[in-house]
Structures are given as structure tokens and as C-alpha cells.
Amino acid sequence: MKKYQLVADKIRQAIKKNNLKRGDKLPKIKDLVDEFGVSKATVLQALALLAKQGTVYKIQGSGIFVREPADLEGYMSLLTNRGLTGVVDNISTEVISIDELDEPPEKAKKYFEDEDLRCYCLKRLRKTNDKPFVLEESYYLKKYVPFISKEIAQGSMFKYISEGLNEEIRFSDKFMWVEKLNECVANKLELKAGDPALIVNDLYYMGNGKIFDVSFLTYNYQNSKFFDQSSDEII
Amino acid sequence: MKKYQLVADKIRQAIKKNNLKRGDKLPKIKDLVDEFGVSKATVLQALALLAKQGTVYKIQGSGIFVREPADLEGYMSLLTNRGLTGVVDNISTEVISIDELDEPPEKAKKYFEDEDLRCYCLKRLRKTNDKPFVLEESYYLKKYVPFISKEIAQGSMFKYISEGLNEEIRFSDKFMWVEKLNECVANKLELKAGDPALIVNDLYYMGNGKIFDVSFLTYNYQNSKFFDQSSDEII
DNA sequence: TAGTGGTCTAGACCACGGG
DNA sequence: CCGTGGTCTAGACCACTAG
């Protein structure tokens, strides 16, 4: 565990413990430096991490403040590459199919840059409180994800990749649009043909810069809403 | 202009000038330090900025590489708080109405934390290549945005606020969902009642942590698609 | 004008990737 | 093993906020 992550965790805990709310002030940087016995740069890194996650913001000449989202109940983060966490409760997963392909269909193939295009095609329906909210169609290169079983697919693929395979997801590209559902997809999502849906096309990159996963997510418009907290801080 | 911004600009220019493509390698950090005559920390800050903008990525023990989005033609960034830039061309704006209110409607009012709730309500229809792609309904607190004219609203509100009013937009919360359009909104977007739309509810914060703008954007599903590039780098 | 965050330096040492 | 990025330190000085 890196020092700045530890410091970030401690600050997060302190916010929770002291029940600090949006706009409440944190100790000044110098105090954090003394309290945690680290250098200013390390505290700044920790604060950068927290700022990126939407937990705090800094005002030059004034202080560090808690930035708490008004109310995220039921909203899910579109943007962190960490799967679904926290705000969406009672998630269950129905594995529809796991196929092994010599190469993915064109819509996914065009993004991969490896020669060896053998891949898994995984289709899942994910539910929250028994209501379907997203239909997933994912293509994983076997080169990076050599094995997927139904049991694995039942859980978090992110967790499996990072912990089970010890591969790191470093960044992602997302393409999003809205369209009308066709009957087949609509049925799976318990909607009707012509109903609206948000489509998210995700490209996930390994630590080496190669795409290992191309996914297409179709969200049920009635059971999914999203949030994002952005900040212009770098450090 | 800060040093790390200058360094970031120079690196960006070098990528362009040398026609570097996705996966191409940049000089190592030590060389960038020497070339620009700054410290390692400054180069790291510049690279953090570029990483955040999706321009580069680093691989420990290997190097710094160009991260170029495959093809962003026609896609717009949902996430930068900088208005619409670059990828969407030929933008025109039709100002529908500018009203002065003693307080905003409840859906916007609930987010503001100031006592003085006098505000402008600005409605605009934005088009790309003469096709409507988003209907905007924005509430600006007069305390922070004391004046809006039709001429101003015709241009970029972001530019007006940052350059004209010299106020800084520091961060934002976004809430997003998909719904079916009602007839009135559909007409403005040249769609039909019941057609799908992406709704984005934006909260924009000033440098002092106060919300000054609450906006509701309704996107035409046929004329708008979005992208986001994320990375887990902090610095 | 005091207090607080922002930028920058110079350099030490760690950790990972790839030949 | 070497080259490269990652983390961390200690401290100087700048820039902004607010009373």
C-alpha cells in the first residue's frame, strides 16, 4: 500500500468519523503533514486522489473542504473502471452465454490490435433488486483472459481480472449513445421494442496499453441512472 | 501560465509535429526534464494533465506512450466542464428565452445553497450542421452571473463566465438518465413524442465551492453521441 | 496582512519491464 | 541487470482568500 493511499484512506475515515458534511473544513495541509508524518507532496497526492474521487475540493488561500454529492441514491457511476460499487444495491447476475470465438464480430474486432484474436464472448443480464438494468455483451481476448467459467462470470469480471488474473486495468475509452431497442434486446430487459436505451461501448486497456476487452452495454432506461463528479484539479 | 501547463503544451505540440500515433513512444522523463529545463515533479504534473485529457499514458519500467482515441469524429465529450469543443462542428445556437426569476423552480432550487436565489433562466437550442442536438434549460444565480444578454447567450456561456466575468468553474456534478420525450420538447428537437432522449442534469460549482448554475440538457438521440477517456493515473 | 493552498526544485530510493 | 517510471522528502517561494 502506498503512503498517499494510506493517507487518503485516513482522511476519508476522519471525514466519516467526524461526520463531516459538504462544505465542512478539513485540517490545513501543514497539519495533515504533521499528523501523518509524511511530506507535503505525499499529502497533496492523497488529496489529489480524494479530489478525483469527488470526496474533497481545495480552495487556494482558504482551505480543504468536503465535497459530498447531494444524493446519489440509486445512481451509478458511469466512469470509474471498477465495475458497479456502492450506490446500486442488491445486484444479481444472470449469465446468458459464454462462447469461445476465433475472432470477434467486426464491431469489436476493429478495436483490437493483437494478431491473436481468439476471444470469449460473454453475455450477461444484470439486475438490481430483481429488476434488469443492463444487458452486457463483452469480448475478452484469450491472450489476456485465458479462462472464463460460468461461476466466474456470475461475479465481478473486474475483480476476477485484477485479483484472479492479476492483470491491471489502467484506462478505458467509452462511447455512448441513445437508441431505440429492438424486440430481442427489449425482451431481455423486460421492455418493449422501440423503448429508449443508453448504449455504452467500452474499450478497456491493460497496463501495457493493449485493449483486452470490448464491451457493449445496453441499459434499461427505467432502472438505471448515472452520475459523474468531475474536478479540474491535477494534484 | 504555469510551467507544467507550458510543458504539457509543448509535449502536445511535439506529438503533433512528429505525427506520433497511438502507442508511439515519447522521450523518457529524464530527457523531458533536460529538454524543458524543469524539475521532474513539473514534468510529472504536465504528464498528469495530459493523462487526464487522454493524450498519453505511462507504463512503469517501459515508457510514456501516445494515447490517441481511435476515432472521435462526431462524438462529444460529456465530461469536461468546458462546453463543446473540437469534435462537434458547425455549432449554432438559437436563444429561446431569457427570463429573470426571483427564484428557480424546485428542481433547480433544491441544489442552490445561497440565500439570494434571484437567477436567470436561459433556454437555448443548439444545433450542429443545422440539426438540433441539445435543448438547454439553465439557471444562473445572479449573484455570480449578474448579466446575460441575448448576444452573450448566443455564444459560449463558459467562455463568458471565465473570460467576461473572470469567474472560475472548478468542478461539476452530473446526473444522467434516459427518458421518453414529451411532445413539446420533442417538437423543439424535431423529434416525436415518445422518442428517446438523454437527459443531463449539471451542477456547476465556482472556485468557492458554491453552485452557480444548474442546467438540464435534453439531447437529440439521433444527432448526439458521446465519449469519455478515463485513466487511473493521479500524477 | 496573516493564513493557506499552489508551484517548483534537487535529489534519494523503490518497483517494475524487458532484454 | 539496466532502463524507466513511481514514490517520497524537505524546503523555498508564489498567489490567493478573508478578516
Q: In terms of domains, do A60 and A88 share one?
A: no
Query: What is the CA B3 to C1' C9 distance in angstroms?
Result: 13
Asked if B209's CB is within 8 angstroms of A48's CB, the reply is no
Q: Is the pLDDT of residue B71 over 90?
A: no
Kindly report the average pLDDT of chain A as a whole number. 90
How does residue A169 score in pLDDT terms, banded at 50, 70 and 90?
Answer: confident
Say if A235 falls within a structural domain: no
pLDDT score for A180: 97
Boundary of a domain, candidates B66, B88, B115: B66
Total Cβ atoms within 10 A of residue B80? 16
- Which residue in chain A has the smallest CA separation from B62? A208
Give the nucleotide with minimal C1' distance to the Cα of B60. Answer: D5
Q: In terms of domains, do B143 and B96 share one?
A: yes
Rounded Cα–Cα distance for residues B62 and A80 (Å): 25
How does residue B100 score in pLDDT terms, banded at 50, 70 and 90?
Answer: very high
- Which residue in chain B has the smallest CA separation from A203? B229
User: Best interface-test mutation with A: which of B175, B181, B203 has the largest number of A CBs within 10 A?
Assistant: B175
Of B171, B224, B227, nearest to A231 by CB-CB distance is: B171
How does residue B15 score in pLDDT terms, banded at 50, 70 and 90?
Answer: very high
pLDDT in tens, A133-150: 999 999 999 988 988 999
- Give me the CATH number covering residue B51: 1.10.10.10
The β-bridge relationship of strands A211-220 and A131-141 is: antiparallel
Say if B141 falls within a structural domain: yes
Give the nucleotide with minimal C1' distance to the Cα of A64. Answer: C5
Q: In terms of domains, do A41 and A132 share one?
A: no
Average pLDDT over residues A79-92: 66
Local structure of B141: helix, strand or coil: strand
pLDDT score for A210: 87
Average pLDDT over residues B31-55: 93
Boundary of a domain, candidates B18, B33, B66: B66
Boundary of a domain, candidates A18, A45, A66: A66
B196: which chain A residues are within 8 Å (Cβ-Cβ)? 178-180, 195-197, 221
Question: How far does the CA of residue A38 sit from the closest CA of chain B (Å)?
Answer: 17
Q: In terms of domains, do B47 and B151 share one?
A: no
Of A59, A69, A175, nearest to B207 by CB-CB distance is: A59
Q: In terms of domains, do B50 and B121 share one?
A: no
pLDDT score for A87: 65
Query: What is the CA B233 to C1' D7 distance in angstroms?
Result: 13
Asked if A234's CB is within 8 angstroms of B235's CB, the reply is yes
Q: Is the pLDDT of residue A195 over 90?
A: yes
Query: CB within 8 A of A18, min separation 6: which ones?
Result: none
What letter would DSSP give residue A6?
Answer: H
In DSSP terms, B83 is beta-bridged to: none
Rounded Cα–Cα distance for residues A139 and A142 (Å): 9
B54: which chain A residues are within 8 Å (Cβ-Cβ)? 171, 173
pLDDT score for A175: 93
Rounded Cα–Cα distance for residues B224 and B47 (Å): 30
Give the nucleotide with minimal C1' distance to the Cα of A208. Answer: C17
**Amino acid letter, residue A60:** Q
Query: What is the CA A42 to C1' C9 distance in angstroms?
Result: 16
Say if A39 falls within a structural domain: yes
pLDDT in tens, A18-33: 999 989 999 999 999 9
Give the nucleotide with minimal C1' distance to the Cα of B235. Answer: D6
Q: Is the pLDDT of residue B22 over 70?
A: yes
- How far is the CA of A3 from the CAs of A36, B44, B182, B232, in angstroms? 10, 18, 52, 17
Q: In terms of domains, do B192 and B81 share one?
A: yes
- Give me the CATH number covering residue B93: 3.40.1410.10
pLDDT score for A82: 53
Q: In terms of domains, do A80 and A60 share one?
A: no
Say if B234 falls within a structural domain: no
Q: In terms of domains, do B81 and B150 share one?
A: yes
- Domain with B11, as residue range(s), is 3-66
Q: Is the pLDDT of residue A83 over 80?
A: no
* Entry pTM: 0.91
pLDDT score for A86: 53
What letter would DSSP give residue B102?
Answer: S
Average pLDDT over residues B121-147: 93
Say if B235 falls within a structural domain: no
Q: Which residue is nearest to nucleotide D10 (CA to C1')?
A: A39
Any idea of the CA torsion for B106, B108, B109, B111, to the nearest 10 degrees?
130
pLDDT in tens, A214-227: 999 999 999 999 98
Say if B220 falls within a structural domain: yes
Say if A232 falls within a structural domain: no
Q: What's the number of domains chain B is made of?
A: 2
Q: In terms of domains, do A99 and A171 share one?
A: yes
How does residue B85 score in pLDDT terms, banded at 50, 70 and 90?
Answer: low
Q: In terms of domains, do B212 and B122 share one?
A: yes
pLDDT score for B91: 85
Average pLDDT over residues A163-186: 90
pLDDT score for A233: 84
pLDDT score for B209: 86
pLDDT score for B113: 83
Q: In terms of domains, do B51 and B88 share one?
A: no
- How far is the CA of B83 from the CAs of A135, A150, B157, B162, in angstroms? 31, 44, 8, 12
Q: In terms of domains, do A137 and A59 share one?
A: no
Q: Which residue is nearest to nucleotide C4 (CA to C1')?
A: A61
Say if B116 falls within a structural domain: yes
